[in-house]
Amino acid sequence: MQKTPLYDLHVELGGKMVEFAGYQMPVQYPAGVLSEHQHTRESASLFDVSHMGQLILKSTVLGAELEKLVPSSIQNLTQGQTRYTVLLNEEGGILDDLLVTHRGDHLYLVVNASRKDEDLAYLRQHLDAEINYIEERSLIALQGPKAVDVLSALNPVCATMKFMTGQTLELAGMSVYITRSGYTGEDGFEISVHNNDVEELSRLLLESEFVKPAGLGARDSLRLEAGLCLYGHDMDETINPIQAGLRWIIQKRRREEKGFPGADKILDQLENGPEKIRVGIKPEGRAPAREGVEIVDSDGNKIGVVTSGGFGPTVQGPVAMGYVEASKSGIGEKINLMIRGKAMPANIVEMPFAPHRYYRG
């Protein structure tokens, strides 16, 4: 079991440590998941996401090489621009989802903890590129409407950054690579900082009256309300980007030029629609619908399954996402969720459940 450089700080703060993707991580602190969730939406929360994989990819033609395995336009990224995309297998199934940032002479990739070793092997196998972990850096996220105020006090440049951009900055004398991005639906930043500095920077951020620590529990409820996928639950190798509701990640040039794994199948589904698709689900009652709950139509026929679900603290009620047959996926469609043997009424709704509040300048 691995520990991040912030392990001792988590324990000191009373974090309840659990195993996640081979790491000891805090699922919550004494405040609890509900409180941590609300604090993130109202102020700012500090998350340790050092378990995620940070990679550097160097190739002779920057962007073109990675485009062999992802459906998004990477060549068109300008320096300091970040883009969300997915790594595809030959059938167009999703091997992982990731953030890619153009950092001048290389690409900076942030991938899921549970997938990082597989990703690295897959990238090395298929690409003519030099790809390595950034072992010496941790990753923390400061998320919430006050995040920009807290960081601007350390370096005013932070306030000028737009959503999905990154740059190298100094924060209190520490050199960091910071992107305005996150996994909560809120404005916020993700900070790649040297392992030797991460505790000092974290303590400094926690000194702010606006900042409290938050764990994996709140991270999950926040991303669920934001309608964001969790790899291994809402997407996997059997799901393609169209089914996952991610058609927007395939830019026009890539649709025209193809040249990514599973392109024919993916572009066919883009045009003609997939057989099943990811949707937002709002139960009418108060019972949460968890992962694995069957979705049935009004006649009792199975039409899909819940892939993520729980209580949404901001929504103040249960929320879920899952896959249903495309013919039953319209907004407002009435469905039933089989919870403990009983059919509980629910509706297909638009996502996100809580509005995104990104800073687009």
Partner 1 sequence: MLKFSKDHEWVEVDGDVATVGITQYAADALGDVVFVEVPEAGATFSQGDDAAVVESVKAASEVYAPLSGEVTEGNQVLADNPGMVNEDPLGEGWFFKLKVSDAAELEEMMDEDAYNEFIADL
Q: Is the peptide bond before 318 cis (omega within 30 degrees of 0)?
A: no
> CB 44 → partner 1: shortest distance, Å?
20
Query: Rg of the chain over CA atoms, in angstroms?
Result: 20
Question: Least distance to partner 1 from the beta carbon of 101, Å?
Answer: 32
Query: Which pairs from 95-98 meet CB under 8 Å and 24+ separation?
Result: 95/119, 95/122, 95/237, 96/231, 97/229, 97/231, 97/235
Our finding on whether 311 is near partner 1 (CB under 8 A) is yes
Min dist CB 19 to partner 1, Å, is 14
| Cα gap 311→33, rounded to integer Å | 11
Q: Are 219 and 26 in contact (CB under 8 A)?
A: no
Residue 112 makes contact with partner 1 by CB under 8 A:
no
Residue 281 interacting with partner 1 (CB under 8 A): no
304 forms part of the interface with partner 1 (CB under 8 A)? no
Does 318 engage in binding with partner 1 (CB under 8 A)? Answer: yes
Distance in Å, CB of 3 to partner 1, minimum: 22
Site for partner 1 in 37-66 (CB under 8 A): 37
SS3 of 166-213: the string is EEEEEECCEEEEEECCCCCCCCEEEEEEECCCHHHHHHHHHCCCCEEE
Among 85-93, 125-133, 280-288, 319-327, the segment contacting partner 1 (CB under 8 A): 280-288
**Quick one: tokens of 55?**
């990679």
Please tell me whether residue 34 binds partner 1 under the rule CB under 8 A: yes
Q: Which lies closer to partner 1 via its Cβ, residue 100 or residue 354?
A: 354
Pick 313 or 322: Cβ nearer partner 1: 313
Q: Which is nearer to partner 1, 205 or 216 (CB)?
A: 216
What stretches of 22-126 show up as alpha helix (H) in DSSP?
Answer: 33-42, 116-126
Residues forming the site for partner 1 (CB under 8 A)? 27-28, 32-35, 37, 217, 221, 286-288, 290, 310-311, 313, 318, 340
